[in-house]
Amino acid sequence: MDSQIRSSPVAVSTSLSASGIRWDLSDLEPDADQARRDFDELLARSRDFAERRRGTIGSSGAQGLRELLDELDELTQDVSRVHFYATAREHTDAMDAETTDLATLARDRAADLESLLLFVELEWIALDDAEAEALLEADELEPYRHRLRVAREEKPYVLSEGEEQALNARRPAISAWESLHGRELATLTVEFDGGSGPEPHTIDRLLSYIHHRDRDLRLAALDVLYEALDGLADVQASCYDAVVGDRLSVDRLRGIPDAMWPTNQRNELDGEVVETMIRAIEEHYPLGRRWFVRKAEALGLDRLLLADQYAPLGGDRRVEWSEAVAMVDDSLRDFHPRLGDIFRTCLDRGHVDAEPRPGKVGGAYCNSVSKTVLPYVLMNYTDQLRDVITLAHEFGHAVHGTLSLERQSYRSYHTGLALAEVPSTFAQLLAVERLIDLEEDPATRVMLLADRAEGAMASIFRQTVMARFEMQAYAARGEGKGLTRDRLAEMWIEENERYYADSIELPEGYRLGWAYIPHFIHVRFYTYAYAFAHLIAFSLAARYREDPEQFAPAYLDFLASGASKSPRDLLAPLGVDLRDPQTWAHAFAEFDRCVVAAEEAVAELDAA
Ligand SMILES: [Zn+2]
């Protein structure tokens, strides 16, 4: 599932134009009863598959393996369809008893199905190199070749079956630390007066005030947040210490040489490429600082406090759902009619759920279900300009999923996170450019330009600060130092000061800013993928502007190629060479252009 959960900047508004824009899930399943029957049938099919195929991966020849993988591809798509039906209902109707029962069944079944089908990967990895190489050469395996090759990269680090089982058996104990971390955050509520009297506030709701116009409210919300974090920082640090310690111990047993290797492998990026990118980003931290100084002037302040970082500049206006749809349609269609067609078809078939309502999850995501079902998009449309950008972002995922599922096997359609966020960020940049060009109100243009620049800073600079913080944490833990709250606070402040320097004043309470970031617990070094995707999307946007006729068909081919090649090979036809440091310079030129545009618009508005 492609997902980007963003905290919504506004409380739920009274007049919402997207009311009634709800999913029609009938392309997935007619009802819960049929979904239950399908889960039973899938379990039976998977058992039968396992009985027939277990032990044959190395002995059935290229044609036999092809037939096995085709059958598995069908099976996993059916699992994806039924499973997403259960998830989609849970995400939009959490209060319904039938829905929660089905979601519980789906979780149990998913675990059963996974363990039944796991033998395919294990047997494939267990083949010796010569056998595997001979199979990979065969034409029959072309639709699966690249993914099969990538899977074998883990081979040197796989342990004996008994050792793997022992490692698996202590999984629940580690999950308990992860759950505790999440539960502490999810259940934390504090009394806060956001303007309509004191009310219990969750962390997400407190954080949403950083976009508020009222400075006192912004400052007060963050103060209350840090105060609340003080009570749970010891627990959060203990959870993080346990999880990082465990990961490093397992890495040592497996012989994994570098704490970033598992993430880089999943993203199919060389450690060297990632490090070169991160250094280039750090060299450009002054670009962010230049903007913060300019922003302080625009707000009439000597210097920004952390709570002012995302304070709105300029004006804002409401955007009706129908206008948002037209805007995203035009933006995609302008690039290539095929993308506009996919967008319209998804909407017409009821594959978009945009209405905010009780019992529905926050944030936004796109799920590209299978080769026979069009993607489903969930978001919470609150009539804000920012929501138009979210709609474009999610449809960047949807057109990627649709085109790549048309041409690739199911196994080969979905890329690692770093590349998966490229088409969504690119679609978002196209839509923003269009919104800026068409916006007549100068104050609203300023808001859009500032939001674009600050969004890039959040993805590129902030996420890199987080990745560097994690590197410090893994290094310290690897040297046998415990990750206490004070040690984490020191690392956190050090990395943040490298970015902000004296352009933004960090409050004392921000020492605990690491304590509410879930990524650190769930997937190590997850955050750099956002920086990567945003920079690559910037670079692609610049190339598109230079030569739209050449670029658009090559880009469609890139989308349709899915995960059938490495990111390096996928991006090369678009003129992006991941090994060339100039790639990052090119992306930063585009980033700089966005900051300059924002600075100029702010200056014009000040002068007017
Ligand atoms: Zn995304």
Ligand 1 centre from 530 Cα, in Å? 9
- Whose tokens are 């996928």? That residue is 570
pLDDT recorded at residue 143: 96
Token readout for 410 is 């199911």
**Strand partners of residue 557:** none
**For residue 14, pLDDT beyond 70:** no
* Strand-pair category, 504-505 with 304-305: parallel
Burial 489-517 (b: 16+ CB within 10 A, else e): bebbbebbeebbeebbeeeebbbbbbbbb
Yes or no: say if 371 and 70 are a contact pair by the CB < 8 Å rule: no
Quickly state the pLDDT bin for 126 (edges 50, 70, 90). very high
pLDDT tens profile 550-585: 999 999 999 999 999 999 999 999 999 999 999 999
Residue 169 pLDDT grade (very low, low, confident, very high; cuts 50, 70, 90): confident
Mind listing the pLDDT tens digit for each residue in 321-355? 999 999 999 999 999 999 999 999 999 999 999 99
Separation of CA 507 and ligand 1 centre (Å): 31
Mark the residues whose beta carbon lies below 5 A from ion ligand 1. Answer: 4, 424
Round to whole Å and give the CA distance between 192 and 197.
8
Let me know: does 370 contact 102? Beta carbons within 8 Å.
Answer: no
* Cα–ligand 1 centroid distance for 267 (angstroms): 15
Distance CA 367, CA 89 (A): 13
Average pLDDT over residues 24-43: 97
The whole-angstrom separation of Cα 172 and Cα 170 is: 6
Residue 3: predicted pLDDT: 42
DSSP classification of residue 518 = T
Cα(352) to centroid(ligand 1), Å: 15
pLDDT at 15: 62
Name the average pLDDT for the chain.
Answer: 94
CA distance 434 to 32: 42
Residue pLDDT, tens place only, 421-441? 999 999 999 999 999 999 999
Tell me the β-bridge partners of 318. Answer: 384
Say if residue 40 is exposed, middle or buried (CB neighbours under 10 Å; 0-12, 13-18, 19+): exposed
Average pLDDT of span 232-257: 96
Using DSSP, state whether 201 is helix, strand or coil: strand
Instruction: For residue 172, count other CB atoms closer than 10 A to its CB.
Output: 9
Instruction: For residue 417, report the distance from its CA to the centre of ligand 1, in Å.
Output: 9
Helices and strands per DSSP (H, E), number in the chain? 25, 8
**How do strand 352-353 and strand 2-4 relate by DSSP bridges?**
unpaired
Dihedral sign computed on CA atoms, order 192, 194, 198, 200:
negative
CA 275 to chain centre: 20
Residue 418 is encoded by which pair of tokens? 């770093």
Q: Provide mean pLDDT across the span 446-457.
A: 97
Q: Alpha helix (H) ranges present in 439-512? A: 442-457, 463-478, 485-500
| Alpha carbon of 421 to ligand 1 centroid (Å) | 5
Q: What's the gap in Å between 1 CA and the centre of ligand 1?
A: 10
Does residue 194 carry a pLDDT above 60? Answer: yes
Mean pLDDT in residue range 190-207: 91
- The neighbouring-strand residues paired with 505 are 305
How many angstroms separate the alpha carbon of residue 378 from the centre of ligand 1? 12
Spatial separation of the C-alpha atoms in residues 185 and 306, rounded to whole Å: 21
Name 287's Cβ contacts closer than 8 Å, sequence gap at least 6. 588, 591, 592, 595
> Phi-psi bin for 380: left (phi > 0), alpha (psi -120 to 50), beta?
beta
